[in-house]
Amino acid sequence: MGVHDTLSSLPLLDQSAAARDPARSMQARGSHLLVEYRGCDPVRLSDAALLERALRDAAEAIGATVVSAAFHGFAPHGVTGILLLAESHLSVHSWPEHGYAAVDAYTCGVGDLDRAVPLLADALGARQTDVLRVARGELDRECALRVEPHGSFCEIAAVQPSTSSGLITPVVSRASR
């Protein structure tokens, strides 16, 4: 069975039914982490095989199932790669010249994505890690964003739509953990 067959066999979410069913309301359908790794080892960030192994280890740590992988190294440096998971995806984009990697981790209903964050930091040799957590599919909420920088906790307190760009800008309030 191919990915297309798997995806087309999934039932579509009836949003109106979810909104009417109290057992389904205020419950995330997925967890999405956007992770910034800074101060990373440039040699590690240039190694596509190392980055694939690191993402595979992260997938295993969270209990996810890898369906396929695609990784590409750039000249003179940098890698982009993705693991397609039965539960969604893990991806990495690296800029060795800046000691920086961006990781996107999204799963729907499996494991604890937080377990992947320090594992990947160690694999990349990162000195700083910043995380943006997005609870996906909370159909009864207007905003479900949480920012967790190193050593502190930030809540997205509100959103302001931009009239010129149509983008939404978060209004952040900071509190200590």
63 and 121: one domain?
A: yes
Residue in 77, 89, 91, 93 annotated catalytic: 93
User: Is 10 within the bounds of a domain?
Assistant: no
- Structural domains in the chain (count): 2
146 and 125: one domain?
A: no
Q: Give dist(CA 86, CA 6) in Å, integer.
A: 9
Known catalytic residue at 68: no
The yes-or-no verdict on residue 50 having pLDDT over 90 is yes
User: Is 23 within the bounds of a domain?
Assistant: no
User: Is 97 within the bounds of a domain?
Assistant: yes
Q: According to the model, what pLDDT value does residue 154 have?
A: 47
Known catalytic residue at 88: yes
The yes-or-no verdict on residue 57 having pLDDT over 80 is yes
Residue in 31, 46, 88, 94 annotated catalytic: 88
The yes-or-no verdict on residue 160 having pLDDT over 80 is no
Give me 33's structure tokens: 């982490």
User: Is 45 within the bounds of a domain?
Assistant: yes
149 and 172: one domain?
A: yes
Range of the domain at 170: 142-177
| Location of structure tokens 């750039």 | 74
User: Is 169 within the bounds of a domain?
Assistant: yes
User: Is 136 within the bounds of a domain?
Assistant: no
Q: Give dist(CA 171, CA 169) in Å, integer.
A: 7
Instruction: Decide if 30 contacts 108 (C-beta within 8 A).
Output: yes
176 and 101: one domain?
A: no
User: Is 135 within the bounds of a domain?
Assistant: no
Residue in 77, 89, 91, 108 annotated catalytic: 108
114 and 169: one domain?
A: no
154 and 96: one domain?
A: no
Known catalytic residue at 93: yes
CATH number at residue 105: 3.60.90.10
The yes-or-no verdict on residue 6 having pLDDT over 90 is no
Q: According to the model, what pLDDT value does residue 170 have?
A: 53
| pTM for this entry | 0.69
The yes-or-no verdict on residue 106 having pLDDT over 50 is yes
